[in-house]
Structure 1
Amino acid sequence: MMPTFLLITGYLVNINKSLRKFSIYYLGILVPYVVMTVAYSVVSYYMPVRDGIHELSVSVILDKVLVTSIGPYWFLHTMLICGLLYYVCFAIPLRREYKIERLIVFGTSLLLLSLFTPLQSLKISSFYFIGVLLRQTDCDFDKVFYKSPLSLIPFCILVFDKSFYDWGLVTVIVMVYCFISFSSWLYGYIKDKKVNKYVILIGMNTFPIYIFHPVFTMAAKFYKPWLAFDASGWLLAIVTIVIAISGSFIMAWILDKTRTCYLLGKESILRL
């Protein structure tokens, strides 16, 4: 899922903006990232979180915000770093025909960042770069990711074997391709207008879902024993997904209604 999100993010990010407009877009990610990372770090000190901090200090929290990130917010950390480099590389005033050279400079920047700093892993940022590559070479997304139900077959074969999960393996690229191919095909069969409306609504609001869902996944630890009768864990997963999505919508709605969404640097969070 996350390699897919990174690829699509790289493809969709619009860098054809003035510095002012890009700064507004950038702050719209940076402010929620800092707020939620600090909050998650503090909570993880008191709750049994897998990658939680073991020392509550300014230096540790700064490390999580600026360098290593924490929990699910590493994705926003990657977006911020890759997005800034992407904009800088393509905002330099050069003629349009230097697009390939810009891509080379951007890719080299990501490589050097991964080699000489702890800020980014090339395994992760390469998926963002693939998305940028598709966009800047004017590839038709629908033609690159051909819609087919058959793509579910290799996806299932690979996804059930965790030895294929290393982001540096070609198997992850295959899974990303198959996931986009199958989900695009499946979406084409959603004919019911109400179902389609809700699917689009969720897609439009992946940002609030992403930043708020950890609140509800951490809460899952409290009701997990009640669902222990299902040894497969599928029931726990389904219940948690439903609670996380609906809960994230409610939190975003409350912030919008109370105008406290400005604490996250936004005029509104929900997109309706």
Structure 2
Amino acid sequence: MVKRVDEIDFLKCIFILLMISFHLVYIGDTYPYAKQVVYTFHIPAFFMISGYVMKVDKPVIGFMKNVLWLLVPYLIMESSYILMASFLPIREHIPNLSFEVFLEKLLFKPIGPYWYLHSLIICSIVYFMSFIRYKDSGTLVSRLVIASVTLGFISLYWGIISLSSILYFLLGVCIRQSSTEFLSFFKSSWLAIAGFAVMIMFPENLDRFTLGGLLITYLAVSSLLALYSILPRFLAVFFNYIGRHTLVLLLFSPIFTALVKPLVGFLSFEQTGMLFLLVALIINVAGCFGIGLLMDYLGISSFVFGKKKIMQSVK
């Protein structure tokens, strides 16, 4: 069983807030280089963490239930996003939406942030099938080869998952299967901050599927762990709580990302955009958590997430 690690929740919090930040068109357009830097490490780190915490030492039924409760919210939210993209003037606008296009987007080429869930579901199933009864047959290396080849084939033949997503997910799997603790592999280091700053100065490193991108991801995680070590307790609890609810934020943040767009003009007197970013993040987090709490109150969470309450109590 994978023990819950507070530092991982903190990392997830930072990465999901960065995702929301740069899904705000105004912020992404105002700070394109910062967006490129963030996109180099935040999704790769998410996949690495997902590979690390994924549990495959369980019966088939138990595992498939976990997959089901990723699939259900994915189908609901991706379907809604596709329909929304057919009549709203967003960057992923779909003109003349047909049933064939709808199925293509839903099953093979998802749009919006939900592509992450789509890729995670694929990686999880292949990982489980490759490692089923692992201790009784085959070596760790052979299981990893099977998972890598299968996912690589899916990526290259069907193009429904990126090679970079596969790489980082399997790196997380390797860390977990080697019985290495997450905080032993990723070292909290103040020097990592300096290394990170140097690496991002060179645009050629800003590609997640390169050695430079891999190093930036490692340094970003190590740097954040160093920052976490000096956080006051109340801030650590606050960030960890957000980090335990990244699924809720991933699912519902597009609603509030769209709703806060008019605030750009209203807050234009602050020219850096940081005030807009702060307000937008507060609205996003509060709004997403509000939806989660409402779903718990109405009893909807059982049908969407497979649990009575999706919002956990503060610890």
- The equivalences for 1:240-255 within 5 A come to 240-255=280-295
- The structure showing larger relative contact order (alpha-carbon pairs under 8 Å, at least 6 residues apart) is 2
- TM-aligned CA distance change 1:157 to 1:246, over 3 Å: farther
Please list the CA deviations of residues 114-167 of structure 1 after superposition, one character each: whole Å capped at 9, or x if unmatched.
121121111221111111111112222212111012212232344476654322
Indicate which of 225, 229, 238 corresponds to 2:278. 238
2:301 corresponds in structure 1 to: 261
Give the TM-score normalised by the residue count of structure 2: 0.80
- TM-aligned CA distance change 1:264 to 1:161, over 3 Å: farther
2: distance between equivalents of 1:229 and 1:159? 30
2: distance between equivalents of 1:69 and 1:92? 32
- The equivalences for 1:133-212 within 5 A come to 133-159=174-200, 164-192=205-233, 194-212=234-252
Deviation, 1:184, is: 1.4
Say whether 1:56 aligns with 2:97.
yes
Aligned-partner SS, 1:46: coil
**Structure 1 gaps, min length 5:** none
Say whether 1:66 aligns with 2:107.
yes
Deviation, 1:96, is: 6.2
- TM-aligned CA distance change 1:57 to 1:158, over 3 Å: farther
- TM-aligned CA distance change 1:242 to 1:168, over 3 Å: same
Please list the CA deviations of residues 186-221 of structure 1 after superposition, one character each: whole Å capped at 9, or x if unmatched.
2222232x3232222111111111111111112222
- TM-aligned CA distance change 1:175 to 1:78, over 3 Å: same
Size of the aligned set, in residue pairs, is 271
Q: Is the 1:208–1:252 Cα contact (8 Å) retained in structure 2?
A: yes
1: distance between equivalents of 2:287 and 2:125? 31
Read off the aligned partner of 1:142 and give its amino acid letter: L
1: distance between equivalents of 2:191 and 2:238? 26
Aligned-partner SS, 2:139: helix
1: distance between equivalents of 2:160 and 2:173? 20
Read off the aligned partner of 2:239 and give its amino acid letter: V
**Structure 2 gaps, min length 5:** 1-41
1:125 corresponds in structure 2 to: 166
- TM-aligned CA distance change 1:118 to 1:198, over 3 Å: same
2:264 corresponds in structure 1 to: 224
Read off the aligned partner of 2:272 and give its amino acid letter: S
Matched residues, percent identical? 27
2: distance between equivalents of 1:189 and 1:265? 34
CA RMSD of aligned residues (A): 1.9
Please list the CA deviations of residues 87-113 of structure 1 after superposition, one character each: whole Å capped at 9, or x if unmatched.
000014652661111011111111111
Aligned-partner SS, 1:68: coil
2: distance between equivalents of 1:243 and 1:153? 33
Give the TM-score normalised by the residue count of structure 1: 0.92
